[in-house]
Amino acid sequence: MKLIVGLGNPGKKYEENRHNIGFKIIDKVLEDNNFSGFKEKFQSHYSEGRIAGEKVALLKPQTYMNESGRAVNLAKAFYKIEPSSIFVFHDELDLAPGKLRTKFGGGHAGHNGLRSIQACLGTPDFNRIRCGIGHPGHKDRVHAYVLGDFSKAEKQEWVDNYVDTAARFIDLLLLGQEGDYMTRMAQHAPAPEPKTKEG
C-alpha cells in the first residue's frame, strides 16, 4: 500500500491558505479517482482506493500542521507501510510559485509539518512533493504569508490548474517515475512569469 499525505491545517478558516496546498491536492486526487468520501481515522480525514493498480490511502491530518507526524505515524503503523511508500505534498517557500520538485529524504528546512513527520517516523526517508508558493522576502513575514489566502488572481493564474495537474498525473509518482511527473507538471501547469517591479 502507498500512503499519500497532504499537509495543511483543518477548518474553514485555513482552507484557502498557501500552507494548505497539500490538502487541496489530496481533495482533487480523491475526486479524480472516485474514492469514497473522507472518513475520520488516524486523527485525519482518510480514504482509500486504487490508483494505477496500487492500493492507496489518502490522508489529510487534522492535528494542525505542527503535529502532522502523529497522524502519519498512526496510518503507517496500522498498515505496516514502509516510509519509502509515503508521499507527502507540502508547501515550499524555497520554490517559486507554481514550481514543483520531488525529493526523497533530506532535512525539513524549517517546515513544521515535515519536522513533525520526521520526528514521529524516526527517519527522514520518505518522499516529499515540494509545491512552490514563493517567499515573502523576509523571515519575519513568513508566518503571515503561509497562513494568508491565495488571491483570486493567483488561483486563476496558476493555483487551480496546478492542483488539477498534480492530481491528474499522480500515477507517475506511484510508479516511481518522478522525473516524468515533474515534466508533466512543467508542461501542463507552467509556473507563472515572475512579477517584475516597475520603476
Grouping H, G, I as helix, E, B as strand and the rest as coil, residue 28 is: helix
Query: What is the rounded CA–CA span in Å between residue 45 and residue 65?
Result: 14
124-181 tens-digit pLDDT: 999 999 999 999 999 999 999 999 999 999 999 999 999 999 999 999 999 999 999 9
Segments making up each domain of the chain, as ranges: 2-188
Buried b (16+ CB within 10 A) or exposed e, 63-81: bebeebbbbbbbbbeebeb
Average pLDDT over residues 5-17: 97
79-119 tens-digit pLDDT: 999 999 999 999 999 999 999 999 999 999 889 999 999 99
User: What does 141-173 look like in DSSP terms, one character per residue?
Assistant: GHHHHHTSBPPHHHIIIIIHHHHHHHHHTHHHH
Known catalytic membership, residue 19: yes
User: What does 40-62 look like in DSSP terms, one character per residue?
Assistant: EETTEEEEEEEETTEEEEEEEE-
CB atoms within 10 A of CB 179: 10
Strands, sheet with 2-6, edge to edge from the N-terminal-most edge strand = 39-41, 44-51, 54-61, 2-6, 86-92, 127-132, 100-104
Is the pLDDT at 188 greater than 50? The verdict is: yes
CATH number of the 2-188 domain: 3.40.50.1470
